[in-house]
């Protein structure tokens, strides 16, 4: 179960190997002759790898989900990112348009970063997928999912889902292993090896709106969300005009672009139940229910706004409204969505 707290101020595609990718897959297979990574982590294996390679530094500029584009040129890229202490600081997170925070086994957390307007040179550490990722990703048009692997019983569901599944076994040339961390916290993705260029903001079919702040709201200094074994605090920085992120009580930074500082943070209250899957220790994987409706808090411009969220089906984005039913616009810039137990 996740709990939340606020410090207030004054009131104010279908499977891993698609037929249309045959040519690229053949090229990657040839590259695999000189890269032993494929032997260390495939869609049916664990996160461990064998060949250490230093990750390439990523871009330092953070894109904005409000950037306009007439049409999408392809699918978004979603990357599952490790978030235990041994995996920090991460690489490439500041370049994401959206970062989703979900609870996993043992009360820990994992991130899914979604890229559409810009790609960093490197993203990671990359970790395994979960069942609820498939429902969350249905809002996009056959997104590309980069992940290190998955439990064997979950693989058929990933193969049949409308995603382009790209673990290291399917795209060995797109992944590297760093030498400064131990497995499984050292796997990195080079996004341009999967998708030649970002598809543009039109691919972000999330239902999010961007614009001026609504009336009202409550001035807040910080907001904290607790999972059983993880915690996130978002503190408003007047200087940056962004929310500084802390994880487990420590400032969250990246290897390539400094502090994590989204423009908007959404604490979305959802149902979190046991799934049919479990880890090697017998811990059941939590399933985060992102279809339905409920309450949320939207943090922007140093204020918190009580909100409602509604996602009628998996193919739809999520609509956020104020208490009186009006659309609630987000601030321009990166968005973090933290799924908390309702």
Which of the pair, 215 or 48, is modelled with greater confidence? 215
Separation of alpha carbons 156 and 159, rounded Å: 5
Residues β-bridged to residue 268:
296, 339
| Per-residue exposure over 123-154, b if at least 16 CB sit within 10 Å of its own CB, e if not | bbbbbbbbbbbbbbbbbbebbbbbbbbbbeeb
Which pLDDT score, from 0 to 100, does residue 61 have? 39
Alpha-helical segments (H) within 140-184 = 155-160
User: Tell me: the pLDDT tens digits for 145-174?
Assistant: 999 998 888 999 999 999 999 999 999 999
Which pLDDT score, from 0 to 100, does residue 13 have? 39
Which pLDDT score, from 0 to 100, does residue 152 have? 85
What are the phi and psi torsion angles at 196 (to 5°)? -60, -35
What is the mean predicted confidence (pLDDT) over 45-59? 38
Residues β-bridged to residue 322:
307
Which pLDDT score, from 0 to 100, does residue 195 have? 95
Q: With 50 as the cut, is the pLDDT of residue 301 above it?
A: yes
Which pLDDT score, from 0 to 100, does residue 70 have? 53
Q: How confident is the model at residue 76 (pLDDT cuts 50, 70, 90)?
A: very high
What is the mean predicted confidence (pLDDT) over 187-210? 97
pTM of the predicted structure, to 2 decimals: 0.82
Which of the pair, 97 or 62, is modelled with greater confidence? 97
């Amino acid at each position: 179960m996740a709990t939340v707290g606020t410090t207030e101020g004054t009131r104010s595609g279908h499977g891993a190997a698609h037929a249309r990718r045959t040519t690229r897959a053949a090229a990657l297979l040839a590259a695999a002759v000189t890269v032993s990574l494929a032997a260390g982590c495939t869609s049916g294996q664990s996160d461990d790898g064998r060949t250490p390679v230093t990750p390439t530094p990523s871009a330092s500029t953070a894109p904005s989900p409000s950037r306009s584009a007439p049409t999408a040129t392809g699918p978004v890229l979603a990357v599952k990112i490790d978030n235990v202490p041994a995996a920090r600081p991460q690489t490439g997170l500041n370049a994401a348009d959206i970062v989703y925070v979900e609870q996993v086994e043992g009360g820990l957390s994992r991130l899914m970063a979604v890229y559409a307007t810009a790609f960093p040179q490197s993203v990671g550490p990359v970790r395994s997928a979960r069942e609820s990722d498939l429902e969350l990703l249905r809002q996009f048009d056959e997104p590309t999912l980069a992940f290190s692997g998955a439990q064997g019983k979950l693989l058929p569901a990933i193969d049949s889902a409308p995603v382009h599944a790209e673990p290291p076994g399917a795209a060995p040339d797109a992944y590297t292993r760093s030498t400064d961390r131990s497995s499984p916290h050292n796997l990195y993705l080079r996004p341009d090896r999967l998708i030649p260029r970002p598809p543009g903001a039109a691919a972000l079919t999330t239902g999010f709106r961007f614009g001026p702040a609504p009336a009202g709201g409550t001035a807040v200094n910080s907001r904290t969300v607790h999972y059983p074994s993880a915690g996130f605090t978002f503190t408003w920085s007047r200087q940056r005009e962004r929310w500084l992120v802390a994880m487990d009580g420590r400032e969250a930074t990246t290897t390539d672009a400094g502090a994590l500082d989204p423009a908007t943070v959404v604490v979305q209250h959802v149902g979190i139940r046991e799934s049919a899957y479990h880890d090697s220790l017998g811990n059941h994987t939590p399933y985060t229910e992102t279809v339905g409706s409920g309450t949320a808090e939207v943090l922007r411009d140093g204020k918190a706004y009580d909100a409602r969220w509604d996602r009628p089906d998996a193919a739809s984005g999520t609509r956020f409204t104020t208490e009186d039913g009006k659309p609630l616009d987000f601030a321009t810039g990166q968005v973090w969505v933290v799924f908390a137990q309702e």
